[in-house]
């Protein structure tokens, strides 16, 4: 009886009607008893009610208790059935190990890849920056009339700080590379100077010791440093007694006062922080130093302030400074960008493209698994029919099929998390160039939740088709159906899936194809120098003994002489800036005698210092004039060499050789013209540049290039020895073949191209497997039809053509849909293309051919099988 009552609710029992019936029965029995005892019926009813007492209260209580009970029963029953379904699903999966292995591998790889890319997207793009009120942080830049943003000068920074109405705090930092002494070997460190409230602005906590005090930016009190946590671990082994020790940075002794907490850092790999020294240019009142822009300024807006209001506020300050400081601030204003955009803006689209691509791979994987399930469901028609005949409801059957899919998806997601864990670590270790915040990337709770969410949602996606196919059919008739006859509907659904996955594969292939073509184009760009058989390294001359230019010049000459004497060395030269290492210092520039450019044009040019043999060392051709010689001494007439970009930009109709140019107010004669050398990467156009003799423009930061007759790496130890012998206090950094500069300049496109190619390859393999599966199934289903055709005289070639032709037909539809989709989505990778257009005929032409060939190949095997059918035995079946 108890079990029966549990199922009563299926017949629509309602707690309310149940209770009413029960209470009515009571009253009726009582009344009847009274009538039997001789009371008049009306009076009996009245007495029964009276005896019953309060009616509504107990009734309400009964309904409440019963409803509660029913719900609990329903829940228990649901869990019970779920356990049954899951158990059944696991048994089914175990019983078909081949299917399970293929489906799980496909899913786990698809889900794992998504999870890995998502963990990067989450860590880099989605997670808030690890700073206090990160959503209110903005970078403030100086805006030149031609729209170029620059850093801020100290007086402009102080003015913005003083006059802002939209920021509650404005701070600044500036960074550089310095030599550190006093802690083992001399080494180069990245030092960041910070303004007085910088740590509080970002909310960077200190783990050991203390941070900086507001007064410590004053000259004389600024000789202190706070270490980055990772640097502290690396360099000082995490020793807390380091606080109080003195190190020498850039020739200045600094006392270590504290260490930042783990994870508290800027995004520029700073090793140590020190206060910016507030000299007299740190004043909102001065005109001096207004155009010396080197401060990266960050402000925290007051809550609820929009970017538009901030920009208006900054514009107001800019306009005000224009009138107060004529001559220095003409035409200049300021603007703001969210700090988040500054840090991750450049990688947003490429990363989202990767996430989209890997999502497509998962969709292809889903289509494959859906196809597998459809094929299996067909094979299980009899089993399902039997279960239905035995009383399993249609809803229950659909639910059970879906449960099987979700179990697959769940297990796939669990394996996917493991894959993602490994893949993410590999990705982070690969340090794809220019992806910020990589150290914050990892498989965390959000990533795991995402993984299971896609596991479950995709399983519903691929599970719903087979489930619906069955719910739409009258199952008992399936029991009667012969298992041999194919079902048209199922075949159509499978074909649609295959077309869809081929279309997705085409989109991936076109994307990958375009990136590969771009990459090839980039590698074909002439770097302007010959990196083979040369190496370079960096030495920075810091400290008291190099305070005088003369001392630095003598030292640089000494390096060159000693290195030139090494066996195998052919050329040695020094520069302040290597190829593919940026544009270097920007200096004011004008051609003497040329009409002055309009005032809102940025009249600046990149500048580097070189010793006479530099262009011979990197092997860059001289176009006209001459290279520098030993005669271009400090006291000799001032000379420069220009690159071709400078000629295009500044010497439209004049001969550059012999012209005079004005560089930061100093007149120099142009004596040579050299070929353009890449400055950033092959896709970045070469900017105008001038080179001055090192003797006439002496820097402390030296990049020494050594060209050799043989393998340059063999000289590494000898080079180190020579430099150390000259001055043991100098740090030798980045000693590596020049070739590395070229490799590194391509690392960003290489990273995105390889990943997208990998995804496209996986997509193609999966789609091909899909074609294979569907054609095999179709052949198996049509055994009888094919046999009849062959019995009636069809040749094996006809059968082969028929089946392969059908696969190619599907591929053709997939290709058309895919190409159309790719063109629609093209704008997302537009920014990553170089030297190819979205409509690149080679890519769009080749991809469908690849797809067609894979489809033909995939259908060939089942087609061959069909031609070997023995008509007699097939017909006898």
Partner 1 sequence: MPPAPGPDILRGTLDLLILKALSWGPAHGYAVARWIQQATGDALAVGEGSLYPALHRLEEREWIAASWGTSENNRQAKYYALTRRGRAQLRIEADNWRRYAAAVFAALDAPALQG
The residue ranges that bind partner 1 (CB under 8 A) are 1-2, 4-5, 8, 18-19, 21-23, 25-26, 28-30, 32, 50-55, 57-59, 61-62, 64-66, 68-69
Instruction: Rank residues 63 and 758 by Cβ distance to partner 1 and give the closer one.
Output: 63
Give 568's contacts (C-beta < 8 A, 6+ positions apart).
Answer: 708, 709, 710, 714, 715
Contact by Cβ (8 Å): 355, 118: yes
Residue 211: C-alpha distances to residues 223, 225, 245, 264, 856 (Å)? 13, 9, 15, 12, 69
Shortest approach of partner 1 to residue 10 CB, angstroms? 14
Shortest approach of partner 1 to residue 31 CB, angstroms? 11
Instruction: Rank residues 24 and 389 by Cβ distance to partner 1 and give the closer one.
Output: 24
Closest among 339, 279, 305 to 157, alpha carbons compared: 279
Closest among 704, 594, 569 to 649, alpha carbons compared: 594
Helix (H, G, I), strand (E, B) or coil at 604: strand
Report which secondary-structure segment, H or E, holds 691.
strand 689-693
Shortest approach of partner 1 to residue 81 CB, angstroms? 21
E runs forming strands in 710-806:
732-737
Instruction: Rank residues 7 and 78 by Cβ distance to partner 1 and give the closer one.
Output: 7
Number of Cβ atoms within 10 Å of the Cβ of 397: 18
β-bridge partners, 141: 335
Instruction: Rank residues 26 and 827 by Cβ distance to partner 1 and give the closer one.
Output: 26
b/e 515-532 (16+ beta carbons within 10 angstroms → b): bbbbbebbeebebbbbbe
Shortest approach of partner 1 to residue 38 CB, angstroms? 18
Shortest approach of partner 1 to residue 414 CB, angstroms? 37
Q: Report the distance separating Cα 668 and Cα 659, nearest Å.
A: 8
Q: Report the distance separating Cα 425 and Cα 458, nearest Å.
A: 25
Instruction: Rank residues 13 and 551 by Cβ distance to partner 1 and give the closer one.
Output: 13
Instruction: Rank residues 8 and 827 by Cβ distance to partner 1 and give the closer one.
Output: 8
Shortest approach of partner 1 to residue 64 CB, angstroms? 7
Shortest approach of partner 1 to residue 466 CB, angstroms? 40
Phi, psi of 596 (to 5 degrees): -65, 140
Shortest approach of partner 1 to residue 78 CB, angstroms? 19
No. of helices (H) and no. of strands (E), the chain: 26, 22
Residue showing tokens 């329903």: 74
Instruction: Rank residues 33 and 255 by Cβ distance to partner 1 and give the closer one.
Output: 33
Instruction: Rank residues 18 and 81 by Cβ distance to partner 1 and give the closer one.
Output: 18
Shortest approach of partner 1 to residue 52 CB, angstroms? 5
Instruction: Rank residues 20 and 558 by Cβ distance to partner 1 and give the closer one.
Output: 20
Shortest approach of partner 1 to residue 51 CB, angstroms? 5
Contact by Cβ (8 Å): 484, 784: yes
Shortest approach of partner 1 to residue 396 CB, angstroms? 25
Report which secondary-structure segment, H or E, holds 575.
strand 569-575
Give 266's contacts (C-beta < 8 A, 6+ positions apart).
Answer: 173, 175, 192, 202
Instruction: Rank residues 23 and 127 by Cβ distance to partner 1 and give the closer one.
Output: 23
Instruction: Rank residues 5 and 382 by Cβ distance to partner 1 and give the closer one.
Output: 5
Q: Report the distance separating Cα 502 and Cα 354, nearest Å.
A: 19
Contact by Cβ (8 Å): 617, 706: yes
| DSSP sequence for 18-70 | HHHHHHHHHHHHHHHHHHHTT--HHHHHHHHHHHH--SHHHHHHHHHHHHHHH
Instruction: Rank residues 75 and 547 by Cβ distance to partner 1 and give the closer one.
Output: 75
Sign of the CA dihedral with 568 first, then 573, 576, and 579 last: negative
Q: Report the distance separating Cα 835 and Cα 837, nearest Å.
A: 7
The two structure tokens encoding residue 873? 């035995």
Give 454's contacts (C-beta < 8 A, 6+ positions apart).
Answer: 111, 114, 115, 362, 413
Instruction: Rank residues 2 and 872 by Cβ distance to partner 1 and give the closer one.
Output: 2
Shortest approach of partner 1 to residue 39 CB, angstroms? 16
The two structure tokens encoding residue 41? 């019926």
Closest among 370, 360, 369, 354 to 504, alpha carbons compared: 360
Contact by Cβ (8 Å): 741, 531: yes
The two structure tokens encoding residue 188? 């180069």
Instruction: Rank residues 5 and 483 by Cβ distance to partner 1 and give the closer one.
Output: 5
Report which secondary-structure segment, H or E, holds 170.
strand 167-181
Shortest approach of partner 1 to residue 54 CB, angstroms? 6
Instruction: Rank residues 8 and 326 by Cβ distance to partner 1 and give the closer one.
Output: 8
Instruction: Rank residues 59 and 564 by Cβ distance to partner 1 and give the closer one.
Output: 59
| DSSP sequence for 199-232 | HHHHT--EEEE----GGGGSTTS--EEEE-HHHH
Shortest approach of partner 1 to residue 83 CB, angstroms? 21
Shortest approach of partner 1 to residue 26 CB, angstroms? 5
Shortest approach of partner 1 to residue 452 CB, angstroms? 36
Give 755's contacts (C-beta < 8 A, 6+ positions apart).
Answer: 117, 354, 357
Instruction: Rank residues 64 and 791 by Cβ distance to partner 1 and give the closer one.
Output: 64
Closest among 830, 835, 753 to 524, alpha carbons compared: 835
Shortest approach of partner 1 to residue 33 CB, angstroms? 8
Cα dihedral value 841, 842, 844, 846, nearest 10: 150
Instruction: Rank residues 50 and 482 by Cβ distance to partner 1 and give the closer one.
Output: 50
Shortest approach of partner 1 to residue 27 CB, angstroms? 9
């Amino acid at each position: 009886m108890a079990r029966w009552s549990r199922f009563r609710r299926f017949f629509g029992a309602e707690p309310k009607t149940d209770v009413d019936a029960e209470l009515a029965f009571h009253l009726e029995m009582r009344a009847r008893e009274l009538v039997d005892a001789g009371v008049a019926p009306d009076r009996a009813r009245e007495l029964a009610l009276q005896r019953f007492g309060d009616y509504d209260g107990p009734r309400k209580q009964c309904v409440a208790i019963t409803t509660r009970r029913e719900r609990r029963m329903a829940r228990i029953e649901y869990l019970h059935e779920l356990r049954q379904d899951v158990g059944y699903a696991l048994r089914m999966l175990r019983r078909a190990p081949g299917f399970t292995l293929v489906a799980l591998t496909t899913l786990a790889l698809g889900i794992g890849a998504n999870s890995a890319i998502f963990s990067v997207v989450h860590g880099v793009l989605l997670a808030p920056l690890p700073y206090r009120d990160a959503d209110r942080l903005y970078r403030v830049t100086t805006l030149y009339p031609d729209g170029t943003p620059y850093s801020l000068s100290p007086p402009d920074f102080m003015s913005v700080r003083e006059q802002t109405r939209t920021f509650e705090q404005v701070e600044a930092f500036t960074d550089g590379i310095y030599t550190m002494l006093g802690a083992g070997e001399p080494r180069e460190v990245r030092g960041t100077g910070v303004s007085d409230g910088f740590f509080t602005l970002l909310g960077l906590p200190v783990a050991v010791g203390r941070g900086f005090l507001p007064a410590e930016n004053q000259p004389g009190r600024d000789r202190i440093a706070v270490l980055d946590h990772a640097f502290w671990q690396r360099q000082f082994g995490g020793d807390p007694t380091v606080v109080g020790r003195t190190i020498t940075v850039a020739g200045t002794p600094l006392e270590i006062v504290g260490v930042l907490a783990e994870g508290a850092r800027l995004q520029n790999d700073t090793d140590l922080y020190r206060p910016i020294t507030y000299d007299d240019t740190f004043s909102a009142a001065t005109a001096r130093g207004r155009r010396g822009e080197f401060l990266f300024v960050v402000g925290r807006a007051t809550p609820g302030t929009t970017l538009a209001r901030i920009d208006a506020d900054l514009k107001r300050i800019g306009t005000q400074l224009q009138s107060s400081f004529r001559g220095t601030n003409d035409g200049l204003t300021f603007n703001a960008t969210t700090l988040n955009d500054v840090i991750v803006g450049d990688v947003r689209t490429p990363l989202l493209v990767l996430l989209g691509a890997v999502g497509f791979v998962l969709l292809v994987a889903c289509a494959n698994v859906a196809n597998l399930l459809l094929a299996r469901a067909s094979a299980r028609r009899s089993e399902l029919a039997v279960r239905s005949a035995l009383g399993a409801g249609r809803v229950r059957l659909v639910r059970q099929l879906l449960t099987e899919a979700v179990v697959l998806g769940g297990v796939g997601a669990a394996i996917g998390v493991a894959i993602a864990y490994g893949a993410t670590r590999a990705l982070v270790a690969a340090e794809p160039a220019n992806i910020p915040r990589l150290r914050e990337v990892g498989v965390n709770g959000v990533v795991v939740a995402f993984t299971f969410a896609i596991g479950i949602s995709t399983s519903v996606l691929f599970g719903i088709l087979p489930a619906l196919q069955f719910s739409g059919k009258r199952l008992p008739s399936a029991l009667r159906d012969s298992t041999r006859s194919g079902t048209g509907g199922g075949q159509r659904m499978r074909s649609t899936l295959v077309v869809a996955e081929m279309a997705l594969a085409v989109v991936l292939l076109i994307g990958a194809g375009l990136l590969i073509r771009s990459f090839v184009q980039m590698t074909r760009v002439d770097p302007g120098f010959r990196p083979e058989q040369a190496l370079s390294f960096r030495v920075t001359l810091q400290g008291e003994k190099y305070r005088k230019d003369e001392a630095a010049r003598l030292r640089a000459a000494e390096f060159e002489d000693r290195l030139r004497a090494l066996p195998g060395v052919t050329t040695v030269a020094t520069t302040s800036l290597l190829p593919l290492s940026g544009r270097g210092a920007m200096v004011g520039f004008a051609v003497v005698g040329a009409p002055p450019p309009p005032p809102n044009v940025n009249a600046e040019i990149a500048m580097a210092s070189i010793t006479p043999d530099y262009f011979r060392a990197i092997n860059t051709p001289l176009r006209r004039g001459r290279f520098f010689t030993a005669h271009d001494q400090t006291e000799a007439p001032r000379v420069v060499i220009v690159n071709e970009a400078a000629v295009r930009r500044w010497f439209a109709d004049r001969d550059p050789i012999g012209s005079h140019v004005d560089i930061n107010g100093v007149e120099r004669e142009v004596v040579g013209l050299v070929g353009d050398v890449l400055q950033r990467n092959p896709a970045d156009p070469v900017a105008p540049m001038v080179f001055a003799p090192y003797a006439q423009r002496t820097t402390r930061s030296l990049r020494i290039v050594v060209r050799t007759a043989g393998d340059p790496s063999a000289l590494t130890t000898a080079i180190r020895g020579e430099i150390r012998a000259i001055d043991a206090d100098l740090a030798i950094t980045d000693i590596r073949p020049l070739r590395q500069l070229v490799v590194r300049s391509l690392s960003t496109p290489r990273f995105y191209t390889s990943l997208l190619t990998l995804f496209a390859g996986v997509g193609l393999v999966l789609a091909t497997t899909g074609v294979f599966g569907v054609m095999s199934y179709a052949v198996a289903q049509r055994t009888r039809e094919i046999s009849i055709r062959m019995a009636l005289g069809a040749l094996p070639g006809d059968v082969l053509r028929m089946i392969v032709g059908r696969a190619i037909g599907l591929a053709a539809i997939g290709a058309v849909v895919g190409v159309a989709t790719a063109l629609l989505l093209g704008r997302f990778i537009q920014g990553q293309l170089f030297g190819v257009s979205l409509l690149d005929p080679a890519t769009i032409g080749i991809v469908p051919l690849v797809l067609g060939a894979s489809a033909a190949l995939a259908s060939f095997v089942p087609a061959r099988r069909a031609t070997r059918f023995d008509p007699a035995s097939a017909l006898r079946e």
